[in-house]
Amino acid sequence: MNQQEIEIIGILSSAIVLISMLAKTMSYRGTMFMRVVNTFGCFTFIIYGFLLSPSSLSIIIMNAVICIVNVFYIIREYKNHHKNKI
């Protein structure tokens, strides 16, 4: 993969994260949308980090941590939402 294609992946990753930050999070659906899209964006940033080089470890680690945090909150929101429905 050439450098230009790798940079396009980085730009797309940034756009996905930006879209997640623009989501209205006042509702369960909005919060879940934001978290899921943000997790996908972070995952694409991890791929971008691996494609850049081994020296991009900070990109990989930071986005992996954000993915873990997002998954934690997705599970918590899902459980709380369904617990309150009963």
Residuewise pLDDT in 10s, the chain (86 residues) = 889 999 999 999 999 999 999 988 889 999 999 999 999 999 999 999 999 987 789 999 999 999 999 999 999 999 998 887 76
- The pLDDT value recorded for residue 53 is 80
Name the pTM for this structure. 0.87
The two tokens of residue 54 are: 């081994």
Q: Own/partner pairs for 68-76, CB < 8 Å, 24+ apart? A: 70/35, 70/36, 70/38, 70/39, 70/42, 71/39, 73/35, 74/32, 74/35, 74/36, 74/39
- The pLDDT value recorded for residue 50 is 92
70 φ/ψ angles, rounded to the nearest 5 degrees: -60, -45
Q: Are 69 and 42 in contact (CB under 8 A)?
A: no
In the chain, how many domains are there?
Answer: 1
Domain residues for the domain of 32 are 3-85
- The pLDDT value recorded for residue 36 is 96
